[in-house]
Structure 1
C-alpha cells in the first residue's frame, strides 16, 4: 500500500484576522461607520488596544491513496490576546459539510439543482444529490485531549465544535490541546465540491485537490465574539 506522509510544523504565528462581511439589506449607517473606540479609531486604523487572537498548529498528516482517506494528529496552541475571559473555544470542522447528517444540500437555494426549468440538468443533479447522502463524509474524531492526555469535553454542532476548557483562559494566557481525526476524501466527479479526488482509469491514478482538511480555530474578535 502506497502512503504519502505529510508532516509540517506551523512555526509562524498565525493571526486570526478574517472579518465577516455584513451583506444585510437592512444594515444601519452606524454599522457601516461604527463609533470609534479603543479597538478601532475614527480613521479606520487600529486603536491602541486593538488585538488579534493567536493560533499555532503542529500537525502530522497522512494521505492514503488506496483507501482515499486523510488522517491527522494536530496540537493547537491558542493564545488569548483579548481582554475577555474565555471558558470555551470554538473549532471549525469544515469537512462536516459532507457528513451524512449535514444540511448543506437542504440549504442550497440556487444553482442548476434548484432550477425547475432545466429538467435534464435538474435530474442529473438529483442523482448527484443522492450520491452526496450516500457518501460517508465529515471528520471522524478519535480524541480531543489536553497535551497530557486528559479527555476534553466537546460538543459538535454541524461544522462547529465547542471545546470546554478545564479553567478560564485569561488575557495573555495560552492553552494547548490535541485532536486526532480522519475523513474520507470525496470524489469530485460524483458529488462535486471544490476539493476531493479525480480518478483517471487509463492511468490508474488519482489527482487530489484538497482544501479545509484540518480542524481549525474560529475567529474571535471584539465585534461579534466567536464567529460561529
Structure 2
C-alpha cells in the first residue's frame, strides 16, 4: 500500500512537471493507462490514484471512453483560494496589497539583475502605450497595468513571483480598476513605472526595488481612502 502511494505520487509529480515545462499543452491527451504502466513501472491502481488527484484539482479532465486530457480551461487555483478568503473577509484587500508590495519589490530587484534586452523593450512598449492616456479606455489602462507588472515579474526569472502577481491581479481586479482609473493615480503611476523600468534597464536593483515599493505604497494609500469612504457612507 505504501509503495502504491509512493508510485502514484511520482506519477502525479511527473505529469505536473510535464505540464509546467510545456511538454504537455492544454488540450493534449495523456498516454494510455497501459503505456503509463510500462513507462513508470506502476500498477493500474497507482495510475488511477494519480489521475484522480489531478482531476480533483481541475488540471486533468477525463472523457468517457476517450481518455484523459490536460484541461484547456484549468482554473487558477491560487486565485480561487484568495477569492474565497476575500469573500469571507473583505478587509483582506488591503492586506493583500501589503503582501503584493513585498513580492513586487523583490521581483523588480531580480528583474534589474536578470532582465534581457527583449524583456526590457517589452516593458517600455507597454509603458509607452499606458502613457497615451487620451487614447486608451479604462479597460485598456487596467490591462496595461497588469501586463506591465507581469512583464517585470517574468523578467525576474522567478516563476513563483509571476504566478503570485497574476493571482493577485485576478482576485483584486475590482479594487485595482477603481484605483488605477483615478485621474491623479494615472499620472503618478506612469511616473513610477518609468522610474522602475529605467532602474531595471540600468541594472540598479536596489533602486528598482525602492521605486516599486513606493509605487505600491501609493496605491495602498489610495485604496485605504476608498475603503474608508465606503465605510462612512454606510
By the TM > 0.5 criterion, same fold? no
Higher helix share: 2
TM-score (norm 2): 0.21
The structure with the largest strand share of the pair is 1
